[in-house]
Structure 1
Amino acid sequence: MIILGVDPGLTRCGFGVIESEGTKLLDFGLFTSEAGTDPRDRVGKIASGLKEVLSRHRPEVIALERVFAQANLRSVMGVAQISGSLMQMAYELDIPLQFFTPSEVKAAVTGNGRADKAQVGQMVARLVGQEIPGPPDVADAVAVAICGAKRGGATGTAAQKKWVAAAKAANRRIG
Structure 2
Amino acid sequence: MKNKEQKFEQIYEQSKDKIYRLCLGFMGNKTDADDLFQEVLIKIWNNLDSFRNESNIDTWIYRITTNTALLTLNRKTKLNKKEIFHQHNIPHYEMTTSNSNEKEQEVKKLYKAISLLKEIDRIIIGLLLENCSYDDISSVTGLKISNVGVRINRIKKTLSKKLK
- Higher strand fraction (1 or 2): 1
Q: Same fold (TM over 0.5)?
A: no
**TM-score after normalising by structure 2:** 0.30
TM norm structure 1: 0.28
